[in-house]
Amino acid sequence: MEEQSFLDRIMCHLRSTCKYYTGYPKDLGPSRVIHFTSEREFVQLLHQGHPVVVAFTIRGNYTMHLDRVLEEAAAEFYPNVKFMRVECPKYPGFCITRQKKEYPFIEIFHSPEQAANQGRVADQNITRYAVKVLPFNYDLSAYGFREFFKRHGIRTSEPK
């Protein structure tokens, strides 16, 4: 059996200890990004009390980069922040309600509270909620999400 050269051993050691800096793929485990299937599921996710980062996307080269960023950020902030991806061609009604014309874009939904004014509702079993929505306009990386959450006072870890 052939012995590894000194350079090969250094590179193997470097890759095993410095995966982030070498650009070597990270082992993120199973996907933590939730794929949008219905508004009902989205509302149930909001009622869990965690902030939800929603990426509204269409197919394209930039979307592949966005998917990698979402996977990395979802793995870092799990289980305190949920990440969801909406494919707008499949669910145009949900995307149109956001009133944006440029895709992809990201919004953060957090702090659901029962609305003070319920207004007129056809069914008395329906309860209206008010949710804070923030457009994400920071660096598209796990670091950008971390800074955004700090700036807006969104809790990303359990209180000690």
Among residues of the chain, what percentage have pLDDT more than 90?
Answer: 4
pTM of structure: 0.72
3-state SS, residue 112: strand
pLDDT at residue 121 is higher than 60: no
Alpha-carbon dihedral of residues 108, 111, 113, 118, nearest 10 degrees?
Answer: -20
What domains, with CATH codes, occur in the chain? 31-113+125-152 (3.40.30.10)
Give the pLDDT of residue 13: 75
Summarize pLDDT for 21-67 with one digit per residue, the tens: 545 556 667 778 889 888 888 888 888 888 899 999 888 777 888 88
